[in-house]
Chain A
Amino acid sequence: MLEITTNHFLVLSFLLFVIGLVGIITRRNMITVLMSIELVLNSVNLNLIAFSYQLSDLTGQIFAIFTITVAAGEAAVGLGILIAFFRLHDTANLDAAVELKG
């Protein structure tokens, strides 16, 4: 009989985190970077839920709901920034964001 432990969830969540991190750091398309950020937030949620089950505590689930709230706000503001950036530069390539470069 196969059994699922908290370690299984931790490993999965860590893999998702690394994939998302690689996307954030390396991709040049702004939309893909935002989607990678969502991946990272989701992996954190997975961790919270797994530990909520491990510790038999409902607080992890509550915290996951707050994380989802923050992710929704982040997506709205991030995509708003993307639209403003696109209007200014006519591209969604992150390499075009050089205004603050000295």
Chain B
Amino acid sequence: MNALVESGPAILFYVFAAIALVGAVGVVTLRNPIYGALCLLATFLSIAALFLLRHAEFVAIVQIFVYGGGIMVLFLFVIMLVNLHRLRESRLFNGPLPVVIVLAVLLLGLFGWVFVQVHFDPADAHPALFTSFVDQQGQLHEQAGNTQAVAWALYTRNLLPFEIASIFLLVAMIGAVVLGRRQ
């Protein structure tokens, strides 16, 4: 029982990794885009769970909100907007499938070999670092929570990228509206 509790994170990792991989394969292989979108949702949510295992609580919640909420609704909306009957494909894949599979296996083998060669030490991570920040007076706040720590890093050291991201979102919004307008 104790061993089960100790290896709990590992078990959770394998469970969610399996869900993510099955969902990803579903996205690429399923014929109906609606089923593909639902598989994609499963992948997004299990990746959010994997973020939690690496002490990225805020990013996990953002992942669920933005991917599971926003992007997913956008995809489902567009799938319903375009006529599904016209989406039916006679051939699912472009090009000869054996060639594709051989290329994918080659790529997998190449990078898999690199992964076997490169070894990372077990992370001597300090999870406390992800929940603490230093304020303007130079005072260290421990156990402040991941959201506060991310906010301090985002609004002090990374303020310029943050503003650029807001301009990017504005441009993307205008672009989407212009593209979607009926001429």
Contacts and interface: CB of A to CB of B under 8 A. Distances in A.
Interface of A: 1-12, 14-16, 18-23, 25-29, 31-32, 34-36, 38-39, 42, 45-46, 49-50, 52-54, 56, 58-59, 61-62, 64-66, 68-77, 79-84, 86-87, 90-95
Interface in B45-80: 47, 50-51, 53-56, 58-59, 62-63, 66-67, 70-71, 74-75, 78-79
22 contacts: A1-B3, A1-B10, A2-B11, A5-B123, A6-B120, A14-B111, A18-B108, A20-B28, A23-B28, A31-B37, A38-B40, A39-B24, A53-B123, A62-B150, A65-B59, A68-B66, A69-B169, A70-B168, A79-B74, A82-B78, A83-B82, A86-B82
B129 A58 contact: yes
Interface residues of B, number: 86
Contact of A52 (B44, B54, B176): B54
A36 to B, nearest CB: 6
Given A71-B71, A75-B74, A27 B92 contact: yes
A66 to B, nearest CB: 6
Interface of B is mostly: helix
Contacts of B95: 26
Contacts of B120: 5-7, 54
Contacts of A23: 27-28
Interface in B101-128: 104, 107-108, 111-112, 115, 118-120, 122-126
Interface in B22-38: 24-25, 27-28, 33, 36-37
A54 B125 contact: yes
Contacts of B92: 27-28
A73 B172 contact: yes
B153 interface: yes
Contacts of A21: 107
Contact of B176 (A77, A87, A94): A77
B150 A65 contact: yes
